[in-house]
Structure 1
Amino acid sequence: MVPVESWWQTAVVYQVYIRSFADGNGDGIGDVAGLRDRLPYLARLGVDAIWINPWYPSPMADAGYDVSDYREIEPVYGTLAEAHRLIAEAHEAGIRVLLDIVPNHSSDHHAWFTAALADEPDARQRYHFRPGRGADGELPPNDWRSVFGGQAWTRVADGDWYLHLFAPGQPDLNWENPEVRAEFEDVLAFWFDKGVDGFRIDVAHGLVKADGLPDGGTGDDTAPTLVQHNASHPAWDQDGVHDVYRGWREVANRYAPERIFIAEAWVPSNERLARYLRPDELHTAFQFDFLRAPWRADVLQEVVDEAIAVAATVGAPPTWVLSNHDVTRTVTRYSRSQPEHLIETDWERARWSKETPDYEAGLRRARAAALVQLALPGTAYVYQGEELGLEEVEDLPDEVRQDPMWEQSGFTDVGRDGCRVPLPWADDVAPYGFSLSKDVQTWLPQPPHWPSKTAEAQDGDPHSTLNLYRDALSARAAIWVDSGDLEWIATTPEVAAFRRGRAQCWVNTGEIPVDLPADAEVVLASVPGTGTQLPPDSAVWLIAGA
């Protein structure tokens, strides 16, 4: 077991997708003012920290992941002064603040890229500009495809091409350029000086590309090479990226209390993931296999075993995540038939879209999965709305979709808007207390059947999903944080059960109830009234007798 020495080794972090969290000025878009207003809600929920999705100035080609200024706040969200107050108020409430940093690419509105288009001396060296192939340079420099669909290259007026592994408005930075490295180390220090406690690193496995930008060898000129695919590719997970993070760790090590990093790294194996967590690199990395696991006890057990074992080889805690702003919400993932393997690329959206969801089953499973997640050793991330049991909004009208995936895929991939719909806080009609203005149109429309999902509606119901999360986070520190290594308990194939000291967690992914140990007391259950038997699609925390 990794010794617990720092808060981040056992923290529960709440992900704030700021556009959709709370609107404090009445324009239908979430902002810093709305987040400040809801800090008491987060404190009562019991989280240790918040991670805020990009709040920097951006033309919003990809919802803020196209940054035009890394040292300022997007005016739609507020001001730098408001951000300073938020950080201070969060700290007063006992909540640490993590920001998102986007180092793989900038916005095409960034001053550097503007200079590159103007062909200022050496400006193009900060990005990947290349001449094209073919007789007149009319073909892209290589066969790489954008994560969002289509080719990963755009040609500029003078005939050169620039690389963008995501949207054309997100040109990839050249991390072989010392100026790029120095700039981002300075950006880290800028925010650390403001009191920020750490960063989640977007596309942490990107940044450094293979020398010469060789073809990826897909052999398919129409299929995108997805970042989620985890396969080896010259654009991803190159050895040189680790030198970047050693430099970042040196910056973080200058500060006290300690500043930390969490990596979004899609890599071919847990062994490759562990390389990012060596003692002189990053602190934690999302365990995406846990998110990709179907509702099957045997797969869950395999994922947990491998994640814990491999993280331990570098002295790091595993980091568990069930959902985020890029994937289908947990309730919906669990509401359809489950594969026998880890969910593959694109979260099998195409298959699932043809199957009617059973949201009641999905919610039962999501509640149970939350208890499993929060009982495991290491850190846990909760995506906003998980604590309300929200499902993916799959019936958004095409005309309101804003995710660049929708257009770049030729209108075949509905993208990620469905998990980004603004939160319901109160009232019986939209915008459900999300905004100061009751008449405002939220930036994505909210469904009409959400009155029972609001935080206000769930607050007074002791059996609501919101109160299940509150109870779990309250009990977690006492029951699980210092309870020792994980040991599996022999059960039937549809059940996974483990103990850590006297504490036990049982989850039933099967279709029939199972007997619970007679010598253990139920502390918390995903299904109210659980006693001597564990119902299907449920989980329970137990304390064994002395």
Structure 2
Amino acid sequence: MPWWRRGTVYQVYPRSFQDSDGDGVGDLAGIERRLDHIAALGVDAIWLSPIFPSPMADFGYDVADYRDVDPLFGDLAAFDRLLAAAHAHGLKLLLDFVPNHSSDRHPWFVESRADRTNPKRDWYIWRDPAPDGGPPNNWISDFGGSAWEYDAATGQYYLHAFLKQQPDLNWRNPAVKAAMFDVMRFWFDRGVDGFRIDVLWHIVKAEGFPDNPPNPYWRPGITERDRLIQRHSTDQPEAHAIAAEMRAIADGYGGDRVLIGEIFLPNDRHARWYGTRARPQVHLPFNFQLIENGWDAAGLREMIAAYEASLPPHGWPNWVIGSHDAPRIAARVGEAQARVAAMLLLTLRGTPTLYQGDEIGIGQVDIPPDRVRDPQELRQPGIGIGRDRSRTPMPWDAAPHAGFSTAEPWLPLNPDWRTRNVAAQDGDAGSMLTLYRRLLALRRAHPALSVGDFRLLDASDGVLAFERRHGDAVLRVALNLTHEAKPLPFGGEVLLSTLPGSAHETLRADEGIIIR
């Protein structure tokens, strides 16, 4: 059983984890300093959001050099120290690979933009204007506005699925593919344990670049991107062959290297990214449905059943409730239900990914207009898509700036940081941090929870119940997603409750229970 099936991944947003040099921005040395916290939590791997040299137009997802570290975070020597220290703590280390686009300051794009005859012109996607002089088609950037930017010097448009500072690479060009595969080998050779692959389903576009069809369900107040269905700009058949080649590279370094693909698609199309037994693709196509769906037992039950049913026989499930792009779970469902959500995440069948700060229950953080840094929010204000609220610095203690930095942090702290921080929760038996540690310890102690079979069980309205089984061991989970007491659907020995004590005969309001 490979580690990524039985283990748990913890996402670190490097800018916001720990600052070591007093500039208000987190860095690699800061992460190394806090490895004891991550290891004590009980996770198995760290996924780092991008650390590569970047102009930071999209905070690292605009890469200017795929083989180095941005000075803001340190250097390659600092990375090597972090990697060695993580391994010494028994932790795997995964990097965020950004293959769909680079920065417009990457040397490849600088050459590509120089003139139409440059050897790297075809490394990016250039097209002539439409007959009216406008963009080649109607595609919309994920950050709003046209996905095409006109370059007056060469008289053509280039494609950018995100910011204009993030031109899309042309993965139909074999030279691009070879160069990016060499990037993967560079980091594998350095010892990394895998990659989370950014927007993997974007990397190939339909030939001919036809217009995307309108979305009949779009309405004002939703991100502009969703005005169209991304039928021709994402999830093209040719992308699956590229994912299979990436998998072959990873497998060539041994069975412990893992590829996690960022993919937002309906179940049937999402499942195709596992590939086949003969030609596998990514190990784990990220499953964001706990983020995207409402918080009610009936809806979650239906979603879980449909997702499980969609998996190929060789496919392993995975679950996420928080990330650097999504509203925090405690802000979405409240602190009481965030405890229930923690139990759900860590007892479902499949590999869970935790996001930094969720283990102490960071909730709503309002970002003043003059502190907004997220380009997505700045380009489409007022519709609630800002990501800064998920990227606020980690509060470690009640010292100035929450122990994150000796200077003013790059984003505001959570407003309750003086009482909601790691040190405050460390010795509190009833804290969210203690709950996460106990849940993760149970996963390690009971294979039924990490790799066991899964079966949904009947329960009263508002309660989600399921069984995990491994050999003769049977554990059952009951989660009350309401604010009122419910009948406990089964009896047995209570291994863990999300609340202090246990009534045993009832499921208290906002309570989750694991029973043997």
Q: TM-score w.r.t. structure 1 length?
A: 0.88
| Paired amino acid for 1:258 | D
Q: Does 1:246 align with 2:244?
A: yes
Question: Residue 328 of structure 2 corresponds to which residue in structure 1?
Answer: 329
Question: Residue 495 of structure 1 corresponds to which residue in structure 2?
Answer: 463
Q: Does 1:453 align with 2:420?
A: yes
Question: Residue 75 of structure 2 corresponds to which residue in structure 1?
Answer: 79
| Pick aligned residue for 1:434 from 390, 404, 409 | 404
| Pick aligned residue for 1:375 from 334, 347, 354 | 347
Aligned counterparts of 1:272 and 1:384: Cα–Cα separation in 2? 29
| Paired amino acid for 1:276 | W
Q: Does 1:176 align with 2:172?
A: yes
Q: After the TM superposition, which parts of structure 1 deviate over 6 Å for at least 4 consecutive aligned residues?
A: 219-223
RMSD: 1.9
Q: Does 1:152 align with 2:155?
A: no
Aligned counterparts of 1:140 and 1:41: Cα–Cα separation in 2? 50
Question: Residue 204 of structure 1 corresponds to which residue in structure 2?
Answer: 200
Q: Does 1:477 align with 2:473?
A: no
| Pick aligned residue for 2:135 from 134, 137, 140 | 140
| Contact 2:7 2:450 (8 Å CA) reproduced | no
* Identical pairs, percent: 42
Per-residue deviation, 1:483: 6.3
Question: Residue 122 of structure 1 corresponds to which residue in structure 2?
Answer: 119
Question: Residue 364 of structure 2 corresponds to which residue in structure 1?
Answer: 392
Kindly provide the CA deviation profile for residues 355-403 of structure 1, in whole angstroms up to 9, marking residues without a partner as x: xxxxxxx01111101101111111000000010100131x211121111
Aligned counterparts of 1:482 and 1:216: Cα–Cα separation in 2? 41
Per-residue deviation, 1:125: 0.5
Per-residue deviation, 1:153: 1.1
Aligned counterparts of 1:372 and 1:230: Cα–Cα separation in 2? 34
| Paired amino acid for 1:464 | S
| Pick aligned residue for 2:45 from 45, 49, 68 | 49
| Pick aligned residue for 2:477 from 495, 505, 518 | 505
Kindly provide the CA deviation profile for residues 179-199 of structure 1, in whole angstroms up to 9, marking residues without a partner as x: 110011100100000110000
Per-residue deviation, 1:476: 1.0
Aligned counterparts of 2:414 and 2:321: Cα–Cα separation in 1? 23
| Pick aligned residue for 1:515 from 487, 490, 505 | 487
| Contact 1:146 1:224 (8 Å CA) reproduced | no
Kindly provide the CA deviation profile for residues 250-303 of structure 1, in whole angstroms up to 9, marking residues without a partner as x: 211211253110011011x21111111124211011111222222210111112
| Contact 1:321 1:373 (8 Å CA) reproduced | yes
- Cα 1:240–1:21 shift into 2, 3 Å: same
- Cα 1:519–1:400 shift into 2, 3 Å: closer
Q: How does 1:280-319 map to 2 (within 5 A)?
A: 280-311=280-311, 313-319=312-318
Aligned counterparts of 1:36 and 1:94: Cα–Cα separation in 2? 13
Kindly provide the CA deviation profile for residues 20-44 of structure 1, in whole angstroms up to 9, marking residues without a partner as x: 0111111110000000000111110
Deviates more, 1:374-383 or 1:406-415: 406-415
Question: Residue 418 of structure 1 corresponds to which residue in structure 2?
Answer: 389
Question: Residue 128 of structure 2 corresponds to which residue in structure 1?
Answer: 131
Question: Residue 349 of structure 1 corresponds to which residue in structure 2?
Answer: none
- Cα 1:447–1:516 shift into 2, 3 Å: closer
| Paired amino acid for 2:338 | A
- Cα 1:117–1:23 shift into 2, 3 Å: same
SS in 2 for 1:14: strand
Q: Does 1:20 align with 2:19?
A: no
Question: Residue 270 of structure 2 corresponds to which residue in structure 1?
Answer: 273
| Contact 1:522 1:531 (8 Å CA) reproduced | no
| Paired amino acid for 2:346 | L
Deviates more, 1:412-421 or 1:510-519: 510-519
- Cα 1:161–1:316 shift into 2, 3 Å: same
| Pick aligned residue for 2:87 from 79, 84, 91 | 91
Per-residue deviation, 1:157: 2.1
| Contact 1:401 1:417 (8 Å CA) reproduced | yes
| Contact 1:230 1:266 (8 Å CA) reproduced | no
| Contact 1:497 1:507 (8 Å CA) reproduced | yes
| Contact 2:3 2:256 (8 Å CA) reproduced | no
Which runs of 5 or more structure 1 residues have no equivalent in the other structure? 335-361
| Paired amino acid for 2:468 | R
Kindly provide the CA deviation profile for residues 333-356 of structure 1, in whole angstroms up to 9, marking residues without a partner as x: 11xxxxxxxxxxxxxxxxxxxxxx
Aligned counterparts of 2:382 and 2:302: Cα–Cα separation in 1? 36
Question: Residue 357 of structure 1 corresponds to which residue in structure 2?
Answer: none
Aligned counterparts of 2:393 and 2:224: Cα–Cα separation in 1? 30
| Pick aligned residue for 2:210 from 191, 214, 217 | 214
Question: Residue 186 of structure 2 corresponds to which residue in structure 1?
Answer: 190
Aligned length: 502
SS in 2 for 1:226: helix
| Paired amino acid for 1:409 | Q
Q: Does 1:540 align with 2:479?
A: no
| Paired amino acid for 2:417 | W
| Paired amino acid for 2:315 | A
Aligned counterparts of 2:303 and 2:404: Cα–Cα separation in 1? 37
Per-residue deviation, 1:410: 5.6
| Paired amino acid for 1:112 | W
Per-residue deviation, 1:310: 1.7
Aligned counterparts of 1:482 and 1:15: Cα–Cα separation in 2? 19
Aligned counterparts of 2:105 and 2:82: Cα–Cα separation in 1? 27
Aligned counterparts of 1:414 and 1:199: Cα–Cα separation in 2? 26
SS in 1 for 2:201: coil
| Contact 2:50 2:60 (8 Å CA) reproduced | yes
Question: Residue 377 of structure 2 corresponds to which residue in structure 1?
Answer: 406
Aligned counterparts of 1:503 and 1:126: Cα–Cα separation in 2? 53
| Contact 1:513 1:534 (8 Å CA) reproduced | yes
